[in-house]
């Protein structure tokens, strides 16, 4: 992973074999990012473990994207803090040759060739990720 500082944010370039979520956590720790928006991401992925949030079980239904490569058409999300640790919340839209499209929440994904991610820093805000009893999932809030 290579980090390039921009005015108000960063460009992250992931290289073959880099894992998205681990790279985003490492990036957030290294740059003291408390809250940031993932504005866009494009490139290619080799494989991914994805999820669709199932409210009754308060967890993800999992599906895997294997036998890549896949074109990464879109990435969005944010990086927040949960229990003082970076928490990347990432969604992607990706497709195979011929146009078959897959999308969802990224649990992990492996870069193929390169992925370019643009991140805008909002660390001066008081936004954190919280868990609320009797409410599925976690959500952003201000403190």
Residue 8 reports pLDDT greater than 90: yes
57 pLDDT tier (thresholds 50, 70, 90): confident
pLDDT in tens, 84-108: 999 999 999 999 999 999 999 999 9
> Across the strands, what pairs with 5?
10
pLDDT band at 133 (very low <50, low <70, confident <90, very high): confident
Domain carrying residue 77: 2-142
The pTM of the full predicted model, rounded to 2 decimals, is 0.92
- Measure Cα distances from 127 to 50, 137, 143 in Å: 25, 16, 6
Residue 32 has pLDDT above 90, yes or no: yes
**Mean predicted confidence (pLDDT) in 63-77:** 96
- The string over 78-89, giving b where at least 16 C-beta atoms fall within 10 Å of a residue's C-beta and e elsewhere, is bbbbeeeebbbb
The pLDDT-based confidence of 75 (bands split at 50, 70, 90) is: very high
Kindly state the average pLDDT of the residues 11-40: 97
pLDDT, the chain, mean: 94
Nearest to residue 143, comparing CAs of 91, 84, 65?
Answer: 84
Q: Indicate the number of domains in the chain.
A: 1
* CATH code of 106's domain: 3.30.1330.80
């Amino acid at each position: 992973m290579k980090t390039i500082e921009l005015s108000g944010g960063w460009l992250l370039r992931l290289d073959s074999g880099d894992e998205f979520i681990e790279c985003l956590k490492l990036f957030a720790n290294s740059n003291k990012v408390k809250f940031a928006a993932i504005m866009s991401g494009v490139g290619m992925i080799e494989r991914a473990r994805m999820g669709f949030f199932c409210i009754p079980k308060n967890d993800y239904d999992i599906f895997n994207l294997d036998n890549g490569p896949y074109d990464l058409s879109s990435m969005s999300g944010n990086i927040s803090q949960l229990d003082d640790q970076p928490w990347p919340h990432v969604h992607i839209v990706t497709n195979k040759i011929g146009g078959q499209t897959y999308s969802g929440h990224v649990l992990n994904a492996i870069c193929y060739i390169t992925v370019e991610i643009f991140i805008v820093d909002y660390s001066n805000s008081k936004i954190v990720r919280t868990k609320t009893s009797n409410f599925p999932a976690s959500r952003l809030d201000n403190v």
